[in-house]
Amino acid sequence: NAGVTQTPKFQVLKTGQSMTLQCAQDMNHEYMSWYRQDPGMGLRLIHYSVGAGITDQGEVPNGYNVSRSTTEDFPLRLLSAAPSQTSVYFCASSAGTSGARELFFGEGSRLTVL
């Protein structure tokens, strides 16, 4: 029972490098989202998607791109990494298209930008 799978679990980047965080879910959920979690700040929404081909910005979208070509996958791209993007990133999904149902989270991807 995989649920939401994120890769990689850990990554170290140098400033200016680019990379993609992968997220896949096997629950046929329409709604998928990316959050970052920083100490004392709770989770902040980066981008979300209500279905294949549809994405929208969250609270902190700058420096990140997303695409949704299939229902299962929702990758997050860092275009030019900056130290301020050092964080733990979580992918989450839920049934339906409104994000109003129970959210299922992945285990997280811990990113350090030097």
Contact set with another protein (CB under 8 A): 4, 31, 35, 40-45, 48, 50, 56, 58-59, 90, 92, 98-108
- Distance, CA of 8 to CA of 19 (rounded, Å): 10
What is the nearest approach in angstroms of another protein to the Cβ of residue 6? 8
Nearest to another protein of 34, 78 (CB atom): 34
Nearest to another protein of 17, 105 (CB atom): 105
| Strand positions, DSSP E, the chain | 4-7, 10-13, 19-25, 31-38, 42-51, 54-57, 64-66, 76-78, 87-94, 104-105, 109-113
What is the nearest approach in angstroms of another protein to the Cβ of residue 59? 7
